[in-house]
């Protein structure tokens, strides 16, 4: 891939070169979220063309081959004559584009398309090069098929979502342009000089038989959680100071040497660094007050550390899936075309569910810290609900209600999707992964986690401000300064929803975290 600086002065992927060897997670994110261009390498094109010759040879022999000269699923034993095979592939896409419900986000659809192109470019699926190139042409033109939330069972691939994408390749279905306006797909293709695809043997099946949707959502969730788990260390450090807690429990000798979970050690090191130089905590240490803080403060590294370790496990699964060629049937190196079950989404579904569990728990402990700052019996000198004039003002009382509502939903979303299975296709597909559903609920959970942390940020910043003239640590000052550019400090009650939205926006754009890291270095 080619790297070029973006307008923010960081690095961004300008062009992704799609080769037979596949993609890196960063390249998927660049295309899905930042609109990077994609080009098929000449070597990959040659490989795809060479493998296609095997499929064309099989298409002309008398022995039926699944996906090439037969029907699909429970109709796999039905032979299809040569004149009807284009119609077979076309009908497959039309019938399988049966999604329903809300539209899936643009970045999910772009990741879905790119990851399917990645598998097709591996030379294991037997499609013509033009199929891969047409997908890339849609991505580069900013044409986004409309895909619906419901339709995939996470087995036999993300069939319905991928079919909605394939339908647009044919000039059918529904799509949006770069501005998000729905337009006729054929009109959009012609506008960008893209010839609608006429599918040949096996190509319809190859376009829809993969775990690309659930994998794309996993990759994006991992990127978001990488940042949010560091943000949780920052909001925790602010809360420790707001509650006049103790920093001694975050000392490194209490973590790595005594309990060698790498995530725990990283989280403790982050919080300890963020608290360094805090006059609030120096005053606490001099007073020699409480011996121990509540679990939501003292055990923060154990929880956030467990989240980190789970992220790393999920990343391992994602990297393995990125290195996979998911299709059925698949073309082996010797040219043999054989059926398999690699389209089953179980490995991805399990970690998607696991990530929803740890996301909910990270939100839960943050909500408990927030509640503690609002309770005058437990906040060690702060006014009730951090109100300016308690009684007249309610302060952040209802902000905590919002947190509690978000956490409650996240706990429901933590119920695993992958333990469910509803047989389909006349019992031919009698066990499915529900990985797509696991991915969709994880995306909601990640969004809610960001909102929960935004409310802790608001609350802790206000609590720290109320400790004046004692100041927080330099890293905390830097983070609060960014927040205060758009959110005022303590004062009488005001419309609170915009403040919550602003705090969420500052977490989404990474500016609060970046300010703190500008003082202590990049957190682990």
Residues with a catalytic annotation lie at 66
Across the beta sheet with 144-145, the strand order is 144-145, 175-176, 182-183
Backbone φ and ψ for 434, nearest 5 degrees, come out as 55, 30
Q: Are 301 and 255 in contact (CB under 8 A)?
A: yes
The CA distance from 110 to 115, in Å, is 9
Element holding 503 (H helix, E strand): helix 497-508
Mapped onto helix, strand or coil, the DSSP state of residue 351 is helix
Our CA dihedral for 389, 392, 395, 398, rounded to 10 degrees, sits at 160
Mapped onto helix, strand or coil, the DSSP state of residue 311 is helix
Backbone φ and ψ for 467, nearest 5 degrees, come out as -85, 0
Cβ partners under 8 Å of residue 445, min gap 6: 355, 356, 359, 360, 410, 413, 414
| 209: its two tokens | 């038989």
Our CA dihedral for 422, 104, 304, 484, rounded to 10 degrees, sits at -160
Which long-range contacts link 495-500 to residues 24+ away (Cβ below 8 Å)? 496/396, 496/398, 496/399, 499/458, 500/399, 500/402, 500/451, 500/454, 500/455, 500/458
Instruction: Give, to the nearest 10 degrees, the angle between helix 212-242 and helix 106-120.
Output: 130
Q: Are 330 and 342 in contact (CB under 8 A)?
A: yes
Which long-range contacts link 74-82 to residues 24+ away (Cβ below 8 Å)? 74/425, 74/426, 74/427, 74/428, 76/428
With vertex at residue 217, the alpha carbon angle to CA 214 and CA 220, rounded to the nearest 5 degrees, is: 150
For tokens 């690699």, name the residue. 342
The CA distance from 495 to 489, in Å, is 13
Our CA dihedral for 399, 403, 406, 410, rounded to 10 degrees, sits at 180
């Amino acid at each position: 891939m080619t790297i070029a600086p973006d307008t923010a002065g960081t690095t961004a992927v300008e062009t992704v070169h799609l080769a037979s060897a596949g993609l890196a997670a960063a390249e998927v994110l660049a295309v899905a979220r930042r609109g990077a261009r994609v080009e098929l390498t000449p070597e990959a094109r040659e490989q795809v063309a060479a493998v296609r010759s095997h499929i064309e040879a099989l298409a002309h022999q008398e022995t039926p081959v699944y996906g090439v000269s037969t029907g699909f699923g429970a109709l796999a034993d039905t032979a299809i004559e040569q004149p009807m095979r284009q119609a077979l592939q076309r009908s497959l896409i039309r019938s399988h584009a049966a999604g329903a419900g809300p539209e899936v986000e643009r970045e999910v659809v772009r990741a879905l398309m790119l990851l399917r192109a990645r598998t097709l470019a591996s030379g294991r699926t037997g499609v013509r090069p033009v199929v891969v190139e047409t997908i890339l042409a849609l991505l580069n033109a900013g044409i986004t098929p409309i895909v619906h939330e419901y339709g995939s069972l996470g087995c036999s691939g993300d069939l319905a979502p991928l079919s909605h994408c394939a339908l647009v390749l044919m000039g059918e279905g529904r799509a949006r342009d770069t501005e998000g306006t729905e337009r006729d797909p054929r009109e959009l293709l012609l506008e960008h000089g893209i010839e609608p695809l006429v599918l040949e043997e096996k190509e319809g099946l190859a376009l829809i038989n993969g775990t690309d949707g659930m994998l794309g959502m996993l990759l994006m969730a991992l990127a978001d959680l990488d940042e949010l788990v560091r943000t949780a260390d920052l909001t925790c450090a602010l809360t420790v100071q707001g509650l006049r807690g103790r920093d001694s429990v975050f000392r490194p000798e209490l973590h790595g040497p005594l309990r060698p979970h790498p995530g725990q050690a990283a989280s403790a090191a982050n919080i300890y660094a963020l608290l360094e130089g805090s006059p609030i905590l120096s005053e606490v240490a001099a007073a020699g007050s409480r011996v121990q803080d509540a679990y939501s403060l003292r055990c923060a590294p154990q929880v956030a550390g467990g989240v980190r370790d789970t992220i790393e496990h999920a990343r391992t699964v994602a990297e393995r899936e990125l290195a996979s060629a998911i299709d059925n049937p698949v073309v082996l190196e010797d040219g043999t075309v054989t059926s398999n079950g690699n389209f089953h989404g179980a490995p991805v579904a399990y970690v998607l569910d696991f990530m929803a569990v740890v996301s909910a728990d990270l939100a839960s402990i943050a909500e408990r810290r927030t509640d503690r700052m609002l309770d005058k019996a437990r906040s060690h000198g702060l006014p009730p609900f951090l109100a300016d004039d308690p009684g007249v003002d309610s302060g952040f009382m209802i902000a905590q209600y919002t947190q509690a509502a978000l956490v409650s939903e996240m706990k429901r979303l933590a119920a695993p999707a992958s333990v469910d299975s509803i047989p389909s296709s006349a019992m031919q597909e009698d066990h499915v992964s529900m990985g797509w559903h696991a991915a969709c609920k994880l995306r909601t959970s990640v969004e809610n986690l960001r909102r929960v942390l935004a409310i802790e940020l608001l609350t802790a910043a206000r609590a720290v401000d109320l400790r004046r003239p004692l100041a927080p640590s330099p890293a905390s000052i830097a983070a609060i300064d960014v927040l205060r550019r758009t959110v005022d400090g303590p004062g009488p009650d005001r419309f609170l929803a915009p403040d919550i939205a602003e705090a969420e926006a500052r977490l989404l754009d990474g500016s609060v975290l970046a300010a703190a890291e500008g003082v202590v270095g990049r957190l682990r």
